[in-house]
Structure 1
């Protein structure tokens, strides 16, 4: 990978970082366990490494944006996550900010002013 590719990749990664939080809050309207969430996000075009997702889930839970519950009904216990009321509020605010930001970026890309 060239130095230019590394620079570009770093900037693209910065854009994606915040979008993964919003995508998680959107997907977790219904409870999912970590591995299923990885698959769902990947299918939706948000590939996330497990070493990134699990710390993110713990952080969002600690912040009160997610709640979790262990399901021990199956042979293998799984921790299911779901968005909390505070997480729903943040998701809605982030989605609105995302839409507003996208419109402003489109405007400046077309040569207009935001």
Structure 2
């Protein structure tokens, strides 16, 4: 089975990790499953989805240094930039949780 190997460009392409290549058949199955889940997810409504996703911010917070280090290793960018990326991502999620309902509400438009 083929693998995709992730390397660190900042350390002479040292191997960071590897994953197996997904076959076309497996991709088709995963897309089908995702579309099926999407229908169930939609039925939950925005408030329930936000409630289920909010713990994600806490998990990212607990592992933010590990995530930043992985970004640095895989992309070769400075650790400060990776930390900033993770902080921005957490901020984005929090903003969506607070403002999502506003942005996704029906919009009243007027025409002549």
Q: TM-score, normalised by structure 1?
A: 0.30
Q: TM-score, normalised by structure 2?
A: 0.30
Identify, as 1 or 2, the structure richer in helix. Answer: 2
Q: Which has the larger radius of gyration?
A: 2
